[in-house]
């Protein structure tokens, strides 16, 4: 395998794990107070994969965007979601 493919697969795996951790944190902050049970990262990862699969949109790939750039954009977006979620949680929204 080429170096780019291995890098992309590693970044994709890190992105999936981070998504599970992010969903577990957001669930604990916003769903548990409504009476739902707390979930761990593994359950959150599964829920994230299910919802991602169900809501996946198929778009033509941008010819100018590399897989590495798409993975980076996805990771940065999730960091932004975590930041806003933490901020909303801290101020009680």
- Note down the domain range covering 24: 3-52+65-91
SS3 content of the chain, % helix, strand, coil (to 5): 75, 0, 25
* Structural domain contains residue 83: yes
Tokens standing for residue 61:
């790939």
pLDDT for the residue numbered 64: 78
% of the chain beyond a pLDDT of 90? 19
Number of domains in the chain: 1
- Say whether pLDDT at 49 is over 80: no
Tokens standing for residue 26:
């957001």
* Low-confidence winner among 6-10, 48-52, 62-66, 70-74 (lowest mean pLDDT): 62-66
Residue with the larger pLDDT of the pair 50 and 33: 33
pLDDT for the residue numbered 19: 86
- Say whether pLDDT at 3 is over 50: yes
* Structural domain contains residue 59: no
- Say whether pLDDT at 71 is over 60: yes
* Structural domain contains residue 60: no
């Amino acid at each position: 395998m080429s170096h780019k493919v291995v890098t992309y697969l590693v970044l994709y795996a890190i992105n999936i794990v981070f998504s599970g951790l992010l969903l577990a944190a957001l669930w604990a902050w916003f769903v548990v107070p409504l009476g739902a049970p707390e979930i761990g990262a593994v359950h959150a990862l599964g829920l994230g994969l299910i919802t991602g699969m169900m809501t996946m949109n198929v778009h033509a790939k941008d010819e100018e965007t590399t897989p590495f750039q798409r993975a980076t954009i996805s990771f940065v977006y999730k960091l932004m979601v975590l930041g806003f979620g933490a901020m909303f949680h801290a101020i009680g929204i």
